[in-house]
């Protein structure tokens, strides 16, 4: 079986600064991978390069998603293929109603995949059902995207989007940062509901705490632009007690 996601010897520069130095990663469908590591190690860069953010220069290596080379695809095509990035800092979009945004996103993806667009009433029903399941206040759906939302509300909104868009591969970039325990549970609950043999997750986090709620199959340590260690979920507990100091030194 070919992995769902293959990152091979990935080298990335941002504004002339090398951030990733030959990163390798393979994620099979049905798996949850956690990527941990010290700040500045390249975790967020990896998530943005996966999602297709402009401004990240890939100088070497490749990324295959379902066997297809992905680096030349713009972000929207990657999303339509089933990749989802939950942002560390979801953006506020004044003037764009949440429902308008969700409809545009879902229907653009369906259109790209040759599926019929969803009517507004169907979409509204689907979104409301998800909101109810995730314990999200329906009032949030009436506001412009993320405008005036607390950090927790923004992450809940990311979870709602992820649930609606049903990606094959979801990358969660430090979704736990700045979250209280209730919001953390909502996010974890959203991920756990979506876990299936057909779907994979890459959970990027600095702390082990999130992994109490989203139990990973594989844990990687990313430091100085490379995966420096890979293990099972017990690796997360080890990191919690030892910290990242040894990896900073090893990589240096």
Partner 1 sequence: MTAMSAELHRLKTSAELALADAFATAKPTLPGDPAAVALRETAFGHFAAAGLPHRQVEDWKYTDLRTLMRDAKPLASPPDADVKARALGAGRILAGVDCRRVIVVNGAFVPELSDLGGLESGLTIGSMAQALAQGDRFVSAHIGKAAPAGDVAVSLNTALMGDGLVVRVAKGANVARPLHIVSVTAGDTAIASFVRNLIVVEDGGRASLVESHEGPAGVDYQVNTACDLVIGEGAEVDYLKITTEGSGALHVATLMASIGARARLKDLSFTTGGAVVRNQRLLRFEGVGGFAGIRGASLLKGRQHADVTVVADHRAGQCQSQELFKAVLDGDARSVFQGRITVHPQAQKTDARMMTRALLLSETAEAISKPELEIFADDVQCGHGATTGALDGQLKFYLMARGIPAKEAETLLIQAFIGEAIDGVEHVGLREALMDATAAWLAGRG
Can you tell me the distance from the alpha carbon of 204 to that of 216, in angstroms, rounded to the nearest whole number?
11
The footprint of partner 1 (CB under 8 A) covers: 51-54, 74-76, 78-80, 84-85, 87, 90-91, 93-96, 100-101, 104-106, 108-109, 112, 144, 161, 165
Please identify which residue in the block is written with the tokens 């860069």.
45
Is the CB of 146 or the CB of 223 nearer to partner 1? Answer: 146
Of the pair 199, 226, the CB lying nearest partner 1 is at 199
To 5 degrees, how large is the angle CA 216–CA 203–CA 110? 115
**Least distance in Å: CB of 108 to partner 1?**
5
Q: C-alpha 52: how far from its chain's center? A: 12
Query: Least separation, in Å, of the C-beta of 139 and partner 1?
Result: 19
Nearer of residues 107 and 177 to partner 1, judged by Cβ = 107
If DSSP codes are grouped into helix, strand and coil, which group holds residue 104? Answer: helix
CA distance 51 to 17: 20
Least separation, in Å, of the C-beta of 129 and partner 1? 19
Strands 200-204 and 32-36 turn out to be parallel
Helices (H), ranges, 24-176: 43-51, 75-80, 98-112, 120-134, 151-165
3-state per-residue secondary structure call for 213-225:
CCCCCEEEEEECC
Smallest distance from the beta carbon of 99 to partner 1, in angstroms?
13
Shortest spacing between CB 175 and partner 1, in angstroms: 14
Q: Specify the residue, 191 or 239, whose C-beta has the smaller distance to partner 1.
A: 191
Cβ nearer to partner 1, comparing 113 with 138: 113
Quote the distance between the C-alpha of residue 80 and its chain's center. Answer: 15
**For partner 1, the closer CB: 164 or 191:** 164
Contact 222, 42 (CB under 8 A): yes
Q: What gap in Å lies between CA 62 and CA 72, rounded to an integer?
A: 10
| C-beta of 16 vs 94, nearer to partner 1 | 94
Q: What is the nearest approach in angstroms of partner 1 to the Cβ of residue 112?
A: 7
CB of 191 to partner 1, least distance (A): 18
- Strand 68-69 and strand 226-231: pairing? unpaired
């Amino acid at each position: 079986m070919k992995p769902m996601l293959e990152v091979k010897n990935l080298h990335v520069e941002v504004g002339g600064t090398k951030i990733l130095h030959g990163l390798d990663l393979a994620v099979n469908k049905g798996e949850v991978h956690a990527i941990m590591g010290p700040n500045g190690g390249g975790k967020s860069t990896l998530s943005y390069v996966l999602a297709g953010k402009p401004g990240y220069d890939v100088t070497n290596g490749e990324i295959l998603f379902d066997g297809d080379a992905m680096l030349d695809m713009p972000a929207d095509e990657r999303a339509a293929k089933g990749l989802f990035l939950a942002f560390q800092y979801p953006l506020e979009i004044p003037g764009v109603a949440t429902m308008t945004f969700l409809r545009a996103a879902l229907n653009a993806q369906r259109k790209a995949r040759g599926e019929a667009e969803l009517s507004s009433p169907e979409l509204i029903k689907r979104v409301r059902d998800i909101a109810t399941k995730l314990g999200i206040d329906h009032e949030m759906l009436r506001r412009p995207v993320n405008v005036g939302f607390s950090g927790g509300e923004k992450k809940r909104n990311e979870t709602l989007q992820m649930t609606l868009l049903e990606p094959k591969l979801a990358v969660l970039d430090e979704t736990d940062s700045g979250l209280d325990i209730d919001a953390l549970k909502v996010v974890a609950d959203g991920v756990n509901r979506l876990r299936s043999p057909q779907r994979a997750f890459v959970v990027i986090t600095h702390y082990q705490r999130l992994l109490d709620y989203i139990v990973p199959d594989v844990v990687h340590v990313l430091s100085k632009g490379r995966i420096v260690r890979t293990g099972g979920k017990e690796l997360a507990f080890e990191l919690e007690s030892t910290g990242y100091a040894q990896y900073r030194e090893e990589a240096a």
